[in-house]
Structure formats: structure tokens, C-alpha cells
């Protein structure tokens, strides 16, 4: 169903049902308990003590794996997803998975993350909406957490992943890697658990959330919270959820994910099809592009998770409580590989270079050449794969 507001720039697409047909009255793109798990596996880790001092009870973590854990249990790699990603790093869309893998070219036999050699694990992040406990999950009272879901940080997410690691019987990861919010968690892993990470690859990331990143997040959060269908976060059984606000948030974010030269060369001043933007209420092609991404996200994501995870990203600071960035990064003993995208305006290369300059464990920063901006870490599979393959082929201590 398409929901269109009175103003053409606010049109959004409401979430579709899961492929196996959900019951009515679920106003979210979140995966629901009882739906097909697809390739997901689950582990209950119990209560999780949060950085704020609160405890989150009955935490469940959803994850997927590729390859086989060897007898020594030392060939495991943890892949960390970004804000609207999930555990489905590789594989086709289908029942339980509305979209194909978001890094599909990197995992498999002979690929950079060679599943004949490595046991690759990816979990849905704490606070997410694709199987791991988050705002859309059932609380102990049987109702969705909704507005009652607590504030969480990047460190809390890593703590949940550490509990998953214990469950899998893995004492140390051969590598932890990710981009954007995934890069935040990868770096936090290397700082918090230096003895449990042998290699750490941080792509398009930073050691802290910058002022501009937080500034870009604020209008996204306001767009969702000011949607009349947000209901303070308790919208799951309302006739309609905050798809308009979520769509606006995605439009704002999408611009920051790409580069100005790419948008100009790709769209320029083209109009969308036969539409007439000069007084006719039509759209320019770039506006249609943003509408498309807004609708796609509403079909597969949850507005509360977007809020919770965005605020977790804003909390990111490896130096908090550790004497600052430099002392925190001096804790890292992993082979630290930092990767920037030259056209990234959301996580500009200077933030990657700051990590490199503060840590004694890193080599010179790798810079990916791309016209695609921040999303280059997802799109430039060839360059990313070459860096990963080279890193994984190096012998490291422990």
C-alpha cells in the first residue's frame, strides 16, 4: 500500500508483510517472532547489564554463519553490519530475508572471506529489528518493548556480541570487521577485548561520533518522533506506523551516504519520467531516487530501531571513561587495518587518519577510490575485498 501525504515530497511506502504473510495490525517492517527464520540462528544470552546501569532482561541474539568452525576454534571471523543492515551479509532474498545479502560478494568459497577456510559469523545488532532483541521484540510482559526499550550504546552492543561469542565457544576472533556503525563496533571490540581480537578492520569509521555526524542525526530523529503515527514509540498495533517520518529520515541520511559529484553526474537536473516539477507538482529525478530509498527502508525496517541505533551511534566514543582516544587506542593489540573512502563526506578520511595516528597497532590508512561517498565501503567490493584478503593472509600473533 502506498501512503501519500498532501505534499509530494513527503510520500512514503508503508511496510509490506513478510513473505509468509503476517497477521494484520503490525505497523513495522521488523521481523516478527513466529515468522520464518530464514538462515537465522538464535541464542538467548539472558540479562545484559547496560552502560547506563540498567539491565535488559531476556536478550536474544540472531546470527548467521558461513563455513565451519575448526577443531582449534581459531578460524572465526565476526562481520559487523551498519545502521540498517542485519545478519544477512550474504545470500539471496527469500522467505525470512526480504533483501539479498548486503555484502554478497565477500563471503564464499575462494572469496575474500573464504568459507572453505574461515568460519564467518554475523549477528543482528542489539536494538535492531531482524531477530535480535530490540524495540519491536516481545518484552517479558508479552507486549512489544516500544517506548520502554532502554537507551543503549555501542559498548552495550559489543557486550551482547561478546556473550554470543562465549556461547559459540570462541575465545578469540581471527578478525572483527565492519563499516560505518559496524566499524564503530569493530573498533570497540579491539579496545574492550584486546585479547579476543587478532585482526580488526575498520572501514569508513571513526573513533568517536563527530559533531557533524550528530548534527545530521538530529533531523532524522525529529522526523520520526514528530510523525503523528509514532505514538511515542508505541505504534506496533496501530493502523499505521511512522512510515512518513522514517522515510524522511532515510532521505536525509541517503544524501549524506553519497557524494555531491555522484549525485550531480547521475541526476543533474533531470526530471522524473514525464513528471513536471515546474509548477506541475512533479519531481526531479534525484527526488524520485530519495523517495525510492525511503519506501525500500519502510518495507524492511523499524522506526524505533532507527531511533535506538542512531542514538547508540551518537554515543560512540572509544575514549569515554578511558582517559581519551589516545589511551583507549593504545589498548589495541590486534593487527588494526583502517580504511577510508576518499569521497566520504559523512565519515571523512581525516577521521580514519585520526585512528591511524593514535594507535601503534595500525599500518598506514588504506584509501578506497570511489565516486559513491560513504556507501563506497559497500559498493567497491573489489577494492574492499582486496584489502580483506591481504589482511587475512597475513600471519599475526596469538
Determine the average pLDDT of the residues in 162-172.
Answer: 98
Distance from C-alpha of 304 to C-alpha of 324, rounded to nearest angstrom: 31
pLDDT of res. 178: 98
pLDDT of res. 350: 98
Determine the average pLDDT of the residues in 4-19.
Answer: 35
pLDDT of res. 4: 35
Buried b (16+ CB within 10 A) or exposed e, 17-50: ebeeebeeebbbbbbbeebebbbbeebebeebeb
pLDDT of res. 359: 87
Q: What percent of the chain has pLDDT over 90?
A: 91
Q: Which of 27, 344, 352, 375 does the annotation list as catalytic?
A: 344
Determine the average pLDDT of the residues in 322-347.
Answer: 97
Mutual angle of helices 154-168 and 181-192, in 10-degree steps: 70
Counted residue by residue, the chain has a size of: 398
Annotated catalytic residue 305: no
Q: 308 is written with which cell numbers?
A: 535506538
What's the pTM value of the predicted model, to 2 decimals? 0.93
Determine the average pLDDT of the residues in 202-230.
Answer: 98
pLDDT of res. 395: 83
Q: Is residue 366 part of a domain?
A: yes
**Residue 323, phi-psi category: left (phi > 0), alpha (psi -120 to 50), beta (remainder):** left
Q: Is residue 303 part of a domain?
A: yes
350 three-class SS:
helix
Q: Which of 35, 180, 315, 370 does the annotation list as catalytic?
A: 180
CATH code of the domain in which 164 resides: 3.40.50.1820
Distance from C-alpha of 32 to C-alpha of 87, rounded to nearest angstrom: 15
pLDDT of res. 19: 34
Average pLDDT value over all residues in the chain: 93
Q: Is residue 158 part of a domain?
A: yes
Per-residue pLDDT tens for 351-393? Answer: 999 999 998 777 899 999 999 999 999 999 999 999 999 999 9
pLDDT of res. 2: 35
Annotated catalytic residue 374: yes
pLDDT of res. 397: 62
Number of domain units in the chain: 1
Annotated catalytic residue 180: yes
Q: Is residue 225 part of a domain?
A: yes
Q: What percent of the chain has pLDDT over 70?
A: 93
pLDDT of res. 396: 76
Locus of grid cell 520520526: 224
Per-residue pLDDT tens for 242-301? Answer: 999 999 999 999 999 999 999 999 999 999 999 999 999 999 999 999 999 999 999 999
pLDDT of res. 24: 52
Q: Is residue 98 part of a domain?
A: yes
**Residue 101, phi-psi category: left (phi > 0), alpha (psi -120 to 50), beta (remainder):** beta
pLDDT of res. 35: 94
Q: Is the pLDDT of residue 212 over 70?
A: yes
Q: Is residue 203 part of a domain?
A: yes
Helix ranges (DSSP H) in the chain: 154-168, 181-192, 211-225, 243-257, 260-266, 285-300, 303-314, 325-329, 349-358, 376-379, 381-393
Q: Is the pLDDT of residue 144 over 60?
A: yes
pLDDT of res. 192: 98
The alpha carbon dihedral of 204, 167, 162, 128 has a sign of: positive
Q: Is residue 398 part of a domain?
A: no
Q: Is residue 375 part of a domain?
A: yes
Higher-pLDDT residue of 97, 5? 97
Per-residue pLDDT tens for 13-66? Answer: 333 333 333 335 799 999 999 999 999 999 999 999 999 999 999 999 999 999
Q: Which of 88, 97, 372, 374 does the annotation list as catalytic?
A: 374
At 12, give phi and psi (nearest 5°): -145, 160
Could you list the residue range(s) of the whole structural domain that residue 305 is in?
2-393
Amino acid at each position: 500500500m502506498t501512503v501519500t501525504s498532501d505534499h509530494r515530497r513527503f510520500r512514503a511506502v508503508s511496510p509490506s508483510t513478510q513473505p509468509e504473510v503476517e497477521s494484520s495490525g503490525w505497523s513495522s517492517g521488523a521481523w516478527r517472532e513466529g515468522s520464518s527464520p530464514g538462515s537465522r540462528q538464535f541464542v538467548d544470552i539472558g540479562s545484559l547489564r547496560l552502560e547506563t546501569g540498567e539491565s535488559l532482561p531476556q536478550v536474544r541474539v540472531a546470527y548467521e554463519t558461513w563455513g565451519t568452525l575448526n577443531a582449534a576454534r581459531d578460524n572465526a571471523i565476526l562481520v559487523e553490519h551498519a545502521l540498517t543492515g542485519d545478519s544477512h551479509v550474504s545470500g539471496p532474498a527469500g522467505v525470512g530475508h526480504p533483501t539479498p545479502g548486503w555484502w554478497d560478494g565477500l563471503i564464499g568459497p575462494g572469496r575474500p572471506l573464504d568459507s572453505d577456510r574461515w568460519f564467518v559469523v554475523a549477528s543482528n545488532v542489539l536494538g535492531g529489528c531482524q531477530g535480535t532483541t530490540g524495540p519491536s521484540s516481545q518484552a517479558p510482559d508479552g507486549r512489544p518493548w516500544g517506548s520502554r526499550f532502554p537507551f543503549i550504546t555501542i559498548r552495550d552492543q559489543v557486550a551482547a556480541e561478546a556473550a554470543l561469542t562465549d556461547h559459540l565457544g570462541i575465545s578469540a576472533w581471527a578478525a572483527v570487521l565492519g563499516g560505518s556503525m559496524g566499524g564503530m563496533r569493530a573498533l570497540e571490540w579491539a579496545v574492550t577485548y584486546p585479547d579476543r581480537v587478532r585482526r580488526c578492520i575498520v572501514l569508513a569509521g571513526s573513533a568517536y561520533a563527530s559533531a557533524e555526524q550528530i548534527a545530521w542525526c538530529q533531523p532524522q530523529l525529529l522526523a520520526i518522533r514528530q510523525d503523528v503515527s509514532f505514538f511515542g514509540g508505541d505504534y506496533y498495533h496501530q493502523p499505521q506506523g511512522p512510515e512518513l517520518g522514517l522515510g524522511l529520515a532515510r532521505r536525509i541520511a541517503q544524501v549524506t551516504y553519497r557524494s555531491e559529484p555522484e549525485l550531480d553526474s547521475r541526476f543533474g537536473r533531470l526530471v522524473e519520467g514525464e513528471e513536471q516539477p515546474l509548477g506541475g507538482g512533479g519531481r526531479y529525478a534525484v527526488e524520485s531516487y530519495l523517495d525510492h530509498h525511503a519506501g525500500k527502508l519502510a518495507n524492511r525496517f523499524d522506526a524505533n530501531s532507527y531511533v535506538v541505533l542512531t542514538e547508540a551511534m551518537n554515543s560512540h566514543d572509544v575514549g569515554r571513561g578511558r582517559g581519551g582516544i589516545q589511551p583507549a587506542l593504545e589498548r589495541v593489540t590486534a593487527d588494526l587495518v583502517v580504511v577510508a573512502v576518499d569521497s566520504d563526506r559523512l565519515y571523512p578520511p581525516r577521521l580514519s587518519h585520526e585512528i591511524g595516528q593514535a594507535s601503534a597497532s595500525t599500518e598506514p590508512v588504506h584509501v578506497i577510490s570511489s565516486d559513491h561517498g560513504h556507501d563506497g565501503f559497500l559498493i567497491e567490493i573489489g577494492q574492499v575485498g582486496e584489502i580483506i584478503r591481504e589482511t587475512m593472509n597475513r600471519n599475526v600473533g596469538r
